[in-house]
Chain A
Amino acid sequence: MDSLIKILPTWIAFSPLLGFFCLLWVPRNRSGWVKGVGMLSTLPPLLLSLFLYQRFDFASREVQFSHTFDWFHIPLPQGQTWSFSYSMGVDGLSMPLVVMTAVIATLAATASMYVKKRTKGYFLLFTLLEVGMLGVFMARNLLLFFLFFEVTLVATFFLIGIWGLVHREKAANQFLLYNGLGSAFMLIAFIGIMVLFQTLDFSRLQMVLNNPQTQMALASQPQFQTLIWGIFIALVIAFGIKLPIFPFHTWMLKVHAEAPPSVVMIHAGVLLKMGAYGLIRFGVELFPSQLREAAVVLAVLGLINILYGAVLAFVQQDLRRVLAYASVSHMGIILFGIASLNVEGLSGAVFQAVSHGFISALMFFFIGSLYERTRTTRIEELGGLARSMPVLSGVFLAGGLALLGLPGMSGFVAEFLAFLGLFQTQPILAACGAIGLILAAIYTLRAVLGTTFGPDRGTWSGPADIRTYEAAPMFILLALIVLVGVYPGVLGDPMQTTLQLIVSRIGG
């Protein structure tokens, strides 16, 4: 039993496959069955990850549940070998993200009831996507990380391209090309790491890199310095595309606008966070001194993200695009947190990752149910929804309040911590960034009020207000948002030790 629990991360990552194989046997035309099995298939990872949360030792500085198996060896000419291992584990940084992923995946599967065509293919890809996402957060080997990362890429490409709106193919293509480029940068960085340090095992790498001898050796040879900088920049670009950082963000607007709402829940909720996770995991943990030198640049990029996203969110006519730009803006806050390089800032970044995950999942669940009724998400065509759908509008308002960072909700905690962190190191940039918080209130309220108040702009067919199976997931998300807002310890405690360890290694 203990040995089974020891490899819990593997169980979690591959548990969606159970649903995958069950789905293969369900006939294609039994749509109800397919949806049922599809939704059930997200439960094993959810339950297992809650179990993980419960068994997780908050005080431990070690990577927990870590396990390593031999994967393959590449023989070198001089009789040496390069070993690659299958290695999984969780620490305080990955644990909150794993739980968040499992929760959002389950709720997104519920939101997938709006999917009308080719449901079997949809859920098959959905389960694969979940394997990829969970694996990304728990892989302790860089090559393994890359494999999981690419699985999400391919699965998402199909999910956007088949089940999206009118311009879905374009969105899918752009998604593929941008992320493919990001992956190329990541791969070259990983290979560079492999060649320089002879390993891709994360824990070994950390040991090698933190070893004073290595540091000295690196410092004494300018050629190595250039290589390390090259690797570092490649990593920042790779994860910058995913996050996304300002000039690389166009693909994610398209995805927000075109993908089916349930996929956007995953995309905005989890996939973007892989960029944040990658920046912290590989940027901060492996190359702290490079990151410290680049911190100002990152903070400036964060500022651009915050302001650019906020300003453009204000002028958008479509709710989906408002939320897309809001995501750009919120990802800037993650960059702020990372650039501060202290415990507060990094906690803020992770808080923001999780909080924004829940909030955007909620918002796009709402968008999905709204589109189901109104067939439009353009602000000018909506209005007065509070009269015809009071509860749904209430949920939207609550989500909006969370988005703008109302105290008592998760967004506030995250933004507070991230700004607190950055004010210690870059007060001016942080002060400029604070303008973004005001703008957030403006664009959110404009979008919420424009749709829910005012005169009715049309009569909508379909069910009038929220239904139970919509209400349950929405209220769960809202509850989580409030829970994190009121009792941040639920999220902060597990990651405190790990973040302190990271910061102590940086020596900042």
Chain B
Amino acid sequence: MEKYLLDYNWTVMAPELIIAGAAALLSIIDLLMKEKQDKRVLASLGFVAVLGALYFTVSRFGQQPYEILGDTYRIDDFGLVFKTLLLTGTALVLAVSLQEAKRKEITAQGEYYYLLLTALLGGMILTSSADLITLFVGLELLSISSYILAGIRKRRTDSNEAAWKYVVLGGVSSAFILYGMSFVYGLAGTTNLYTAQERMAEAMGNGMESFVYLSLFLMLFGFGFKVASAPFHMWVPDVYQGAPTPVTTFLAVVSKTAAFALMIRVILGGYLFLFNSRTAEGLELLTTALLVLAGLSMVIGNTVALRQFNNKRLMAYSSIAHAGYTLVPLATLGPMLFESTVYYLTAYLLMTLGAFTVIGIVERNAGTGDISAFAGLSRRSPLTAAAMTIFLISLSGIPVTAGFFGKFYILINAVATQHFWIAAIMLATTVVSYFYYFGIVRMMYFRPPVLEGKVKVPPASALVIAVAMIGTVVLGITPQWALEQLGEVNWAAALSPLNGGAPPAQ
């Protein structure tokens, strides 16, 4: 049966269309505006668009998975959950950016706003692709937008350095992913992830194991880079430090979440046969590789962070460590893989966003990115210091915060699948991480202030901090609501192809 474009139910793509439309609209408005004009109206428009997309995303939950555009694009609960996270993260980043832009630090404001949206769009495509080509398009859209965003302060050398490193290393990682994908195509003769899975399973039986593994590991290299896990972490500290704080936040929160969605989708969707294969060998290999990534990230992230004295570098290594924690459920294939990963990513989103927002405010006030900028914050601005303490406590995984519960959830996976070593590494490195997270706490509470006067917190940032703080505490004390929502999500739909690829009768 021939299908035409308009035969599809396009409403399922409403969120993506809204974001794409908004990005286009913003770029046109930006062209029409005068150079010196205040561009903050663009931010507000972008914010509204993101909220609109969020509304359509959330309202789609619980419906049958639907594939569109010749089965290349797939709307299922798995993608929707991740899209919700991405949209929430971007909305909060946009709110924080308002203040950053006011400082005239970012000269190309218009570009900044619509690049954030295109990056977001890339992330959204990434979470919903059922086809390697769409997937790669999404990935590159996200990556290229991020490269420019990292270097958007074009008069600053550190920003340029960040962008340069990010482009080169990011390009290499994309090449790895592409190369891996080419092997998949070579084995399966199709770019559709789910069809490829079936054909690769056959190929496994025909003595092509080595190519299957080759494709998988080539892609793993790339994924490792995108989620910022060791040993592919070299770019993280420099880029995080050089990029403007809201962009760093975006990279840490939105990019990472999208990359995890990609990783889970490809590994579980494309290589599902490894888990069912008669020989446990393939599974063993995959699990070991992922465990090594996770363990290395935790160890390197948490130990190198001990020697960092720049806030954003410290957070960069912390982000590497958190990538390690988040990998654990996937690596151990725990019974609560999806729920615990998403729970942790949610917790991570809230606490990291909050922490970066405070860091941005404090750095601007002190004029330095050193952790000494926090000296005596508790006296100058007790509420901000208290909020930051909660974020740091959550990052270090101490109750009663979302970070603790997320870690608890992840650990259950590791222990239930009898991977005691990774649980032990996770706990040991967590204790190590106390030292550097509490280093900032020490600065805030134990040291006298260097500067005088209160630290001014702009209203939008205050709102973001409040949202993040309430979220962090509520998810830590009463996880019930979030768990219920996660429990209702139809995760299994992400793993299997739709029946014959035909859209279900509406």
Contact = CB atoms under 8 A, between A and B. Distances in A.
Q: Do A and B bind each other?
A: yes
A162 B446 contact: yes
Given A71-B480, A188-B423, A173 B435 contact: yes
A161 B339 contact: no
A161 B411 CA distance: 30
B70 interface: no
Contacts, number: 87
A75 B483 contact: yes
Interface string A161-190: 110000011001100110011001101100
Interface in B435-465: 435, 438, 442, 445-446
A181 B479 CA distance: 25
A interface, by DSSP: helix, strand, loop or mixed? helix
Contacts of B442: 161, 169, 172-173
Contacts of B423: 188, 191
A177 B420 CA distance: 22
Contacts of B393: 154
B416 interface: yes
Contacts of B445: 158, 161-162
Interface residues of A, number: 37
Contacts of A143: 408
Contact of A188 (B378, B409, B411): B411
A472 interface: no
A184 B431 contact: yes
Interface stretch (A144-152, A357-365, A451-459): A144-152
A447 B484 CA distance: 61
Nearest to B334: A77
A121 interface: yes
B434 A176 contact: yes
A168 B435 CA distance: 15
Interface in A3-57: none
A138 to B, nearest CB: 17
B13 interface: no
B446 A161 contact: yes
B483 A177 contact: no
B399 A151 contact: yes
B478 interface: yes
Nearest to A223: B418
B171 to A, nearest CB: 39
A248 to B, nearest CB: 14
Contacts of A75: 336, 339, 483, 486-487
A443 B479 CA distance: 52
A81 to B, nearest CB: 8
Interface in B359-411: 378, 393, 398-400, 404, 408-409, 411
Contacts of B431: 177, 180-181, 184
B430 interface: yes
- Secondary structure at the B interface, as helix, strand, loop or mixed, is helix
B372 to A, nearest CB: 15
B214 interface: no
B335 interface: yes
A72 B478 contact: yes
A312 B435 CA distance: 30
Contacts of A467: none
A286 interface: no
Contacts of A74: 336, 339, 409, 412, 483
B424 interface: yes
Contacts of B378: 121
B446 A153 contact: no
B438 A176 contact: yes
Nearest to A120: B382
Contacts of B409: 74
Contact of B434 (A147, A158, A180, A230): A180
A74 B446 CA distance: 39
B218 interface: no
B415 interface: yes
Nearest to B393: A154
22 contacts: A71-B478, A73-B483, A73-B484, A74-B339, A75-B336, A75-B483, A121-B378, A143-B408, A150-B400, A158-B445, A161-B442, A172-B446, A173-B438, A176-B438, A177-B434, A177-B435, A184-B427, A184-B430, A188-B415, A188-B423, A191-B412, A195-B416
Interface of A: 70-77, 121, 143, 146-147, 150-151, 153-154, 157-158, 161-162, 168-169, 172-173, 176-177, 180-181, 184-185, 187-188, 191-192, 194-195, 230
Interface of B: 335-336, 339, 378, 393, 398-400, 404, 408-409, 411-412, 415-416, 420, 423-424, 427-428, 430-431, 434-435, 438, 442, 445-446, 478-480, 483-484, 486-487
